[in-house]
Amino acid sequence: MLILAGLGNPGVEYAKTRHNLGAMAVRACADRWNFGAPRRRFASLAREGEIALPAGGSVRALILEPQTYYNESGRAVAEAMGFFRLSPGDVVVFHDEIDLAPGRVRAKTGGGAAGNNGVRSLIAQIGPDFRRVRLGVGHPGQKDAVMHHVLAPFAKSEAGWVADVLAACADALPFLAAGEDERFQAEVLRLAPAPKLDPRGRRDLEG
């Protein structure tokens, strides 16, 4: 069993915000691979299904959208891990990342929280050695603007790259399921190249 957890906040008011990009990504994966309907389990919206592997066969997976609010995400993931008796290496967490430019995607295992309170919650609950898919949303430029930035909806001008990244994560998922995280990252970037800088030398992050 593989757990794919997408971080975000519950409620329609947060559904299209940058902080919910992780939840949007796992939902796209569940839809692409025809997972079952969501059920309330493990303080989450949970969907079960199978992901085909590149070399044949498949992996059973549980997709979680924690409903605990972003900063308590670790509690939901730990509950599911305990139920299935899984280790941190069986967990992949999709989350937004302000230290990556919009549209950039990086896969890694372990590390610190880098100021992300959802990741900090996960480290506190299950340790640091889980796998991560970091989805770039860009930095607003000033530290005191970060909270507004991540809790604001994506700008209309960002809709294209957001849709491309979500589709690419879903299409490249077999590599992630096979434990080929670097190949997953390369395939996502191939399918959804990050948007180019505008003529003024910056990315359009405003609404």
* 84-101 pLDDT tens trace: 999 999 999 999 999 999
Q: What integer pLDDT is reported at residue 23 of this predicted model? A: 98
Global pTM reads 0.93
Q: Mapping DSSP to helix (H, G, I), strand (E, B) and coil, where does residue 102 land?
A: coil
Q: What integer pLDDT is reported at residue 206 of this predicted model? A: 38
Residue with tokens 């992901």: 51
Over residues 121-142, the mean pLDDT reads: 96
pLDDT at 200 over 70: no
Q: Enter the CATH code of domain 2-191.
A: 3.40.50.1470
Residue 195's pLDDT band, with cuts at 50, 70 and 90, is confident
Q: What integer pLDDT is reported at residue 203 of this predicted model? A: 45
Mean of per-residue pLDDT scores for the chain: 93
Q: What integer pLDDT is reported at residue 207 of this predicted model? A: 35
Break the chain into its structural domains and give their ranges.
2-191
Residue 197's pLDDT band, with cuts at 50, 70 and 90, is low
Q: What integer pLDDT is reported at residue 196 of this predicted model? A: 74
pLDDT at 64 over 90: yes
Catalytic residues: 19
Q: Cα 199 from chain centroid? A: 30
Percent of the chain residues past pLDDT 90, beyond the cut: 92
Q: What integer pLDDT is reported at residue 194 of this predicted model? A: 83
pLDDT at 173 over 60: yes
Q: What integer pLDDT is reported at residue 201 of this predicted model? A: 37
